[in-house]
Structure 1
Amino acid sequence: MRRRPLRPLAALAAAICLTALTGCGTQTAGPGDRGAGGPNPHTAGGPGGGGTVRAQKVVRLTTPHEATGMTLLEGPVFDERGDLLVVDVTAPAGGPKVLRVDIGRKTSRQVHTDDRGAYTSAQFSPYDGRLYLTDFVHGDIVSLAPDGSDPRTFFSGEVDGAPMNPDDLAFDRDGHLYLSDSRGMSEGKAIGRVVRIDREGRDATVLAGGLAAPNGISFDERYRGLWVSELTENRVSYLLLDGKGSVASRHTAIRVDGGIAQTDSIAVDADGNVYQALHGRPAIAVYDRHGERLATVDVRGRDAEGLESATNVAITPGGTRAYMTVSGPAGGFLYAFDALGKGIRQSNGG
Structure 2
Amino acid sequence: MGVFNYDYATNCNPIPPSEAALPTVTAEEFVKVSDKIPFHLEGICFDKTGSTMYFCSTDIGRVFRLDMATKKVEQIWADEGLRSFGLKRHPDGRLFVCCFGITRKPGIAILSSEGEELDFILEGHSLDDLIFAKDGSFYASEFTGNVYDRSGAVYHVSADGKTVTPFLQNLAAPNGVALSPDESILWVTEYDAGQILRVPISGAYTSTVYHTTGFHGPDSCEIDADGNLYVALTFQGRILILNRDGFPIGQILTPGREVGRNLIGTHATVRPGTKEVYISCSDDTTDSGSWILKSEGFAGACMDSYMYR
Q: Is the 8 A contact 2:256 2:262 kept in 1?
A: no
Structure 1 221/294 Cα, relative in aligned 2: closer, same or farther at 3 Å? same
Q: Does 2:291 correspond to 1:291?
A: no
Q: Does 2:115 correspond to 1:148?
A: yes
SS state at 2:269 partner:
strand
Structure 1 302/51 Cα, relative in aligned 2: closer, same or farther at 3 Å? closer
SS state at 1:340 partner:
coil
Q: Is the 8 A contact 1:316 1:348 kept in 2?
A: no
Q: Does 2:267 correspond to 1:307?
A: no
SS state at 1:136 partner:
strand
For residues 331 and 104 of structure 1, what CA distance do their matches in structure 2 show?
A: 22
Shift of 1:261: 4.2
Shift of 1:49: 4.1
Flag as ranges the 4+ runs of structure 1 deviating above 6 A.
none
Q: Is the 8 A contact 2:90 2:307 kept in 1?
A: no
> How well do the aligned residues superpose, as a CA RMSD in angstroms?
2.4
Q: Which residue of 222, 229, 236 maps to 2:189?
A: 229
Task: Report what 2:57 is aligned to.
Answer: 88
Task: Report what 2:205 is aligned to.
Answer: 249
Q: Does 2:290 correspond to 1:332?
A: yes
Task: Report what 2:174 is aligned to.
Answer: 214
TM-score, with structure 2 as normaliser:
0.84
User: Once the two structures are superposed, what CA deviation does each residue of 1:24-62 show, in whole Å capped at 9, x if it has no partner?
Assistant: xxxxxxxxxxxxxxxxxxxxx994441111100111102
Structure 1 runs not aligned, ≥5 long: 1-44, 158-163
Shift of 1:295: 1.0
Q: Is the 8 A contact 1:321 1:339 kept in 2?
A: yes
For residues 148 and 280 of structure 2, what CA distance do their matches in structure 1 show?
A: 26
Q: Is the 8 A contact 1:282 1:304 kept in 2?
A: no
| Aligned residue type for 2:139 | Y
Task: Report what 1:54 is aligned to.
Answer: 26
User: Once the two structures are superposed, what CA deviation does each residue of 1:265-305 show, in whole Å capped at 9, x if it has no partner?
Assistant: 11111111111101112210011122221111002338965
Q: Is the 8 A contact 1:85 1:101 kept in 2?
A: yes
Shift of 1:188: 4.8
| Aligned residue type for 2:180 | D
Structure 1 101/129 Cα, relative in aligned 2: closer, same or farther at 3 Å? closer
Q: Which residue of 82, 87, 95 maps to 1:131?
A: 95
Task: Report what 1:184 is aligned to.
Answer: 145
Q: Is the 8 A contact 1:267 1:348 kept in 2?
A: no
| Aligned residue type for 2:135 | D
Q: Which moved more, 1:188-197 or 1:267-276?
A: 188-197
Q: Which residue of 25, 45, 64 maps to 1:77?
A: 45
Q: Is the 8 A contact 1:46 1:295 kept in 2?
A: no
Q: Is the 8 A contact 1:269 1:347 kept in 2?
A: no
| Residue identity (%) | 25
For residues 318 and 249 of structure 1, what CA distance do their matches in structure 2 show?
A: 34
Q: How many residues align?
A: 284
For residues 251 and 211 of structure 2, what CA distance do their matches in structure 1 show?
A: 15
Q: Does 2:108 correspond to 1:108?
A: no
More strand by share: 2
SS state at 1:151 partner:
strand
Q: Is the 8 A contact 2:132 2:307 kept in 1?
A: no
For residues 123 and 65 of structure 2, what CA distance do their matches in structure 1 show?
A: 26
For residues 71 and 150 of structure 2, what CA distance do their matches in structure 1 show?
A: 41
Shift of 1:139: 2.5
Structure 1 320/178 Cα, relative in aligned 2: closer, same or farther at 3 Å? same
TM-score, with structure 1 as normaliser:
0.75
Shift of 1:249: 2.3
Task: Report what 1:27 is aligned to.
Answer: none
Q: Does 2:50 correspond to 1:99?
A: no
Task: Report what 2:8 is aligned to.
Answer: none
